[in-house]
Every structure is written in C-alpha cells, then in structure tokens.
C-alpha cells in the first residue's frame, strides 16, 4: 500500500474510533480521488452522531447540487433540540457553486454542530480559505488513489483487517482483475465471502477464479509471468486472448507491463551493483512486490538484463503512445497491437 494510503487508512481508523466513542470534530472535510475512505468516515458519523429518535430534528443530509452555502450555514447554526448536537452532511459537495463560501462558517464553527463536507472524487483547493479553515478548526481526510502495483498489498492488509488471509497470487489476481477502486474491491470481497463456506479464513487463487468470474490463465498478471520466463507459446496465447476481450484497453495493459519491466530494470541494476543485495535493498528495488514473488524476478533479470530491460521500456512507451491514438495514420486493432508488442518483447 502506498505510504499515503497507509497514513489515510490509519487516520480514518483513528477518526472512526473517536466517533464511536462520541468524540467529534466541528468540521470534517472529506475529499480526494479515492472515495472509499471519505465515504467510510462519513457513514460512521451518520451512524453514530445522532440518536435515531432525534434525527428528524437534528440531522440534515443534502446534496451539493441542491443547496447553497447560505442554506448550509443556516442549518449548521441551529441549536440541537433534545440532543447533544446537530449534524449537517453535504454529499457531492464538489457540485456546490458556492462551496468556498462555507469557509465563513468553518472559520468559527459551533461546538454543538458537526458539519461534514463530502467531496466525491474531487478535492478542495488547498490554497483557499475553506481548506485552511477546515484544517485549523476540524479535520481533513485527503484520500488519493492507491497505485496499481500497491493494490495487492492493500488487499492483503484489508483482508487481514477482516480476519482473513489471502494468498499473494490470489491478491495479485483480484487486484489485476477488479482494478484500483477500493470500494469495488470491498464489494467483490463481500460477494466472495457470501459464496464461500461459512468460517473460511484463507482465500486462494481458486476461490478468486471460481467466485469473482475471472481466470488466472488469461490475465496481464499471467502474461507478465510468462514473459518473465520467456515462455513464448503461452505468452502469445494469453496476449491474443486478452486482446479479444470486450473490455480490453491497451493503455491499461501497457501500464501493467511497464510497471513489471520497470521493477525488472531496477532489480537488474541493483544486482549489477551488488550481486548479493541485502533484504532491505531488494525490497526497495522491488517496491510493492510480495517476497513470495522474488524468485520470479531472479529468473526475469537473467532473461532481461539491464540493456534488454531498457529496450523493452522504450517499446512499452512506444505502444502506450499507439494505444492512446498516436500515429493515427495506421488504424490497428488494440488486441493485435498487444500481440505484436508481446512478440517484440520476446525477441529482444
């Protein structure tokens, strides 16, 4: 998991613990491209802040497109009725045309009101008054995406938090197949657990293949593995199958391949400098890789020493350009481009 992701996760765990103990900040600015953590904190506040019997009088939940700053401020300045506090939540706050004017309230918020500003897939301008006032008088959660190569580690950590253990190759397969959206990973996990026998604590590749509706045999994860071992027959077969998928997008595939060969390049450069690197140096070179997979990289650097890895990185940049519409004079099917790229990598 990204360092920032770990910090946000820890911050949100602490905030939710405080919320459940009845400790609230007057202002919560929940924002960022990755919606999972802001949504989680917002829901915890809604679930715990106001007793069920007094929600009608003391809770206001609105949407940014439907309200003005004046209306929100008016609601926030009301005093609680037969309760300890007032809760005002703005969902999709990024749609408010007068959002920045909320700084007028956030500069002097009431202790008896909890104001939650939830921005979905967006962030407040850190140079402006709203962000500064929320930081000074409340709390800001800034949730940025977890990078694709860090997703397996995030999955493993998330499963551990739920009392589960997921095999490293199963985490890699799930992450590759589902993507980097954390909420989607959580949703797929919930569906997976409903399908597995009650009491299951270990998740395997077979569980992912059987219940998430994917096959490890035909994924970028497996394509990278076969390329690393220079298994041309399997690599070309997998590339052809992936390229024929209705959901196939060449830039996403090239990005995953680039990450893989960038690791191979870094690891190869390390071994050139230090044939017997320390565990710490190896972990830095293979950042985001579970030690379970280190043996695969030992083989990969033998097949693709530094000079070859550099040529492949150049190839991947070229095909990333083609996949994004470059060289429009040649209309080539994206699936064919993947097969062509795979063949060229094998020939380096």
For residues 153 and 346, give the distance between their C-alpha atoms in angstroms, rounded to a whole number.
Answer: 29
Within 13 Å of residue 21, how many CA atoms lie on the same side as its CB?
8
Residue scoring higher pLDDT (205 or 347): 347
* Neighbouring-strand partners of residue 203: 166
Average pLDDT over all residues of the chain:
89
For residues 118 and 121, give the distance between their C-alpha atoms in angstroms, rounded to a whole number.
Answer: 10
pLDDT at 3 over 70: no
Helix (H) or strand (E) holding 115: strand 113-118
Question: 109 and 94 in one domain?
Answer: yes
pTM of the entire predicted model: 0.69
Query: Nearest Cα to 73, choosing from 90, 49, 92?
Result: 90
pLDDT at 2 over 60: no
User: Which pLDDT score is estimated for 306?
Assistant: 94
Question: 187 and 225 in one domain?
Answer: no
Question: 120 and 9 in one domain?
Answer: yes
Helix (H, G, I), strand (E, B) or coil at 246: coil
CB of 26 closer than 8 Å to CB of 140 = no
Residue at a domain's end among 142, 158, 184: 142
Under the banding of pLDDT at 50, 70 and 90, the label for residue 158 is very high
User: Which pLDDT score is estimated for 217?
Assistant: 67
* φ and ψ of 301, to 5 deg: -70, -20
User: Which pLDDT score is estimated for 168?
Assistant: 83
* φ and ψ of 149, to 5 deg: -75, -10
User: Which pLDDT score is estimated for 331?
Assistant: 55
* Neighbouring-strand partners of residue 31: 142
Question: 176 and 192 in one domain?
Answer: yes
User: Which pLDDT score is estimated for 216?
Assistant: 62
For residues 2 and 320, give the distance between their C-alpha atoms in angstroms, rounded to a whole number.
Answer: 24
Question: 92 and 190 in one domain?
Answer: no
**Could you tell me what percent of the chain has a pLDDT over 90?**
61
For residues 66 and 54, give the distance between their C-alpha atoms in angstroms, rounded to a whole number.
Answer: 24
Question: 172 and 236 in one domain?
Answer: no
Q: Per-residue pLDDT tens for 179-238?
A: 788 998 999 899 899 989 988 899 988 888 788 766 666 788 889 989 999 999 999 999
Question: 321 and 273 in one domain?
Answer: yes
Interstrand relation of 86-91 and 59-63 (parallel, antiparallel or unpaired): parallel
User: Which pLDDT score is estimated for 1?
Assistant: 40
pLDDT at 5 over 60: no
CATH no. for residue 176?
Answer: 1.10.8.60
pLDDT at 329 over 60: no
Best-predicted range by mean pLDDT (81-85, 109-113, 296-300, 317-321) = 109-113
Residue scoring higher pLDDT (149 or 301): 301
For residues 56 and 82, give the distance between their C-alpha atoms in angstroms, rounded to a whole number.
Answer: 11
Under the banding of pLDDT at 50, 70 and 90, the label for residue 246 is confident
Under the banding of pLDDT at 50, 70 and 90, the label for residue 330 is low
Q: Per-residue pLDDT tens for 55-101?
A: 999 999 999 999 999 999 999 999 999 889 999 999 999 999 999 99
CATH no. for residue 325?
Answer: 1.20.272.10
* Neighbouring-strand partners of residue 86: 113
Q: Which residues contact 225 (CB under 8 A, 6 or more apart)?
A: 296
Ranking 126-130, 278-282, 312-316 by mean pLDDT, the lowest is 278-282
Question: 332 and 307 in one domain?
Answer: yes
Ranking 157-166, 219-228, 307-316, 322-331 by mean pLDDT, the lowest is 322-331
Q: What b/e string do you get for 32-57 counting C-beta neighbours within 10 Å, with b at 16 or more?
A: bebbbbbbbbbebbbeebbeeebeee
Look up the domain containing 180 and give its range: 148-214
CATH no. for residue 106?
Answer: 3.40.50.300
Residue at a domain's end among 159, 187, 214: 214
**Could you tell me what percent of the chain has a pLDDT over 70?**
95
Q: Which residues contact 190 (CB under 8 A, 6 or more apart)?
A: none
Query: Nearest Cα to 125, choosing from 99, 104, 106, 145?
Result: 99
For residues 117 and 29, give the distance between their C-alpha atoms in angstroms, rounded to a whole number.
Answer: 5
User: Which pLDDT score is estimated for 97?
Assistant: 94
**How many separate domains does the chain show?**
3
For residues 153 and 156, give the distance between their C-alpha atoms in angstroms, rounded to a whole number.
Answer: 5
Question: 94 and 56 in one domain?
Answer: yes
CB of 88 closer than 8 Å to CB of 110 = no
* Neighbouring-strand partners of residue 61: 89
Residue at a domain's end among 179, 214, 249: 214
Question: 165 and 80 in one domain?
Answer: no
Question: 102 and 53 in one domain?
Answer: yes
Question: 245 and 204 in one domain?
Answer: no
Q: Per-residue pLDDT tens for 95-145?
A: 999 999 999 999 999 999 999 999 998 999 999 999 999 999 999 999 998
For residues 267 and 302, give the distance between their C-alpha atoms in angstroms, rounded to a whole number.
Answer: 11
Best-predicted range by mean pLDDT (60-74, 255-269, 314-328) = 60-74
User: Which pLDDT score is estimated for 295?
Assistant: 85
User: Which pLDDT score is estimated for 6?
Assistant: 44
């Amino acid at each position: 998991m990204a360092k920032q992701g770990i910090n946000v996760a820890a911050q949100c765990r602490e905030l939710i613990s405080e919320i459940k103990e009845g400790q609230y900040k007057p202002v919560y600015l929940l924002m960022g491209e990755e919606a999972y953590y802001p949504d989680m904190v917002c829901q915890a506040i809604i679930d715990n802040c106001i007793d069920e019997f007094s929600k009608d009088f003391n809770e206001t939940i609105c949407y940014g497109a439907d309200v003005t700053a004046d209306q929100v401020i008016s609601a926030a300045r009301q005093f609680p009725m037969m309760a300890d506090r007032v809760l005002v939540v703005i969902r999709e706050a990024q749609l408010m045309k007068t959002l920045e004017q909320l700084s007028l309230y956030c500069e002097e918020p009431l202790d008896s009101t909890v104001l939650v500003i939830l921005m979905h897939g967006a962030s407040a301008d850190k140079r402006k008054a709203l962000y500064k006032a929320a930081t000074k008088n409340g709390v800001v959660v800034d949730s940025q995406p977890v990078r694709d190569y860090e997703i397996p580690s995030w999955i493993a950590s998330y499963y551990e938090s739920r009392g589960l253990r997921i095999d490293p190759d199963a985490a890699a397969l799930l992450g590759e197949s589902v993507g980097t959206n954390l909420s989607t990973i959580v949703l797929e996990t919930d569906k997976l657990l409903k399908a597995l026998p009650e009491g299951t604590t270990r998740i395997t590749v077979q569980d992912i293949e059987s219940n998430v509706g994917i096959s490890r045999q035909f994924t970028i994860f497996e394509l990278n593995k076969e390329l690393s071992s220079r298994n041309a027959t399997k690599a070309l077969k997998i590339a052809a199958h992936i390229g024929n998928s209705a959901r196939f997008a060449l830039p996403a595939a090239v990005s995953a391949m680039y990450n893989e060969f960038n690791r191979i390049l870094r690891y190869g450069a390390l071994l050139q400098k230090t044939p017997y690197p320390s565990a710490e140096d190896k972990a830095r070179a293979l950042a985001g890789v579970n030690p379970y997979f280190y043996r695969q990289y030992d083989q990969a650097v033998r097949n693709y020493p530094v000079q070859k890895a550099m040529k492949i990185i150049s190839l991947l940049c070229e095909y990333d350009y083609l996949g994004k519409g470059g060289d429009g004079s040649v209309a080539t099917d994206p699936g064919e481009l993947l097969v062509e790229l795979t063949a060229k990598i094998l020939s380096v």
